[in-house]
Amino acid sequence: MCVSSCLRCVGVSLVALAIVCMLSNILLLLPELKIHFLLEGHVTREATWATGLWGSGFLVVLGARAFVQSSRTRGCCAFRRQMLCQAVNSCVCLLAAGCCCLVSATGLSQGPLCLYNTTWGPTWGVPLQPQPDRHAGYLYNRTLWSGLCLEPREVVQWNLVLFSVMGGASGLQTVLCGANILNALLGLILGHGLCHNKVSPGSLTRKPAEKLFIM
């Protein structure tokens, strides 16, 4: 095992997942790829919180950058000090990614904000959220996916896919950050890792020669 290699791999993976979360959140803010819904306040509440941008995006990228830099640290004391910092950074990234995952799950279960018909005429609201006296939510009834929301077009499928992608990516980030906490604690105890304690083949071949020389 080599702690430095693990830090580098985790950092690169977190950056890729952060890009996915940021792109998903940006698209959620632009139904039909039009900005006027955002400017008029007709975007799903969970999307406007932008946890995919500042949570699983910006904060996680900062943490990933620190992970990669720590993988190049040399010196026992400096390395252990960096591992302590990485344990703290991993906790912050874990909370940020976990927040994004929770918000994504909430947005997915509540359904999108859209224009729909009521007895008083077209109204902006969240018609697909679970109702105890009506239905358990649109996720369990695909007949509600089309025909209910008038604007934006196909917003149900749009939110369903993007919230699922963002929630899955941020969920993977929480797993990686949790594993990195253990990895950083292990590096704090063991130093650079067992890979630096391997016996080289040259050291094995020199010992017999030294014995013959003494004899």
pLDDT digits (tens, 9 = 90+) for 24-77: 999 999 999 999 999 999 999 999 999 999 999 999 999 888 777 765 555 556
Structure tokens at 150: 């008038």
Determine the structural domain holding residue 200 and report its residue range: 3-115+151-214
pLDDT mean across residues, the chain: 82
C-beta separation of 186 from 90 below 8 A: no
CA dist 103 and 52 (Å) reads 9
pTM to 2 decimal places: 0.80
Q: Is residue 177 part of a domain?
A: yes
Q: Is residue 40 part of a domain?
A: yes
Q: Is residue 123 part of a domain?
A: no
CA dist 28 and 25 (Å) reads 5
Structure tokens at 91: 């906790």
Work out how many domains the chain is built from and give that number.
Answer: 1
Q: Is residue 140 part of a domain?
A: no
Label residue 78 exposed, middle or buried (CB < 10 Å: 0-12, 13-18, 19+).
exposed
Q: Is residue 133 part of a domain?
A: no
Q: Please give the helix or strand (H or E) that residue 149 lies within, else none.
A: strand 149-151
Q: Is residue 201 part of a domain?
A: yes
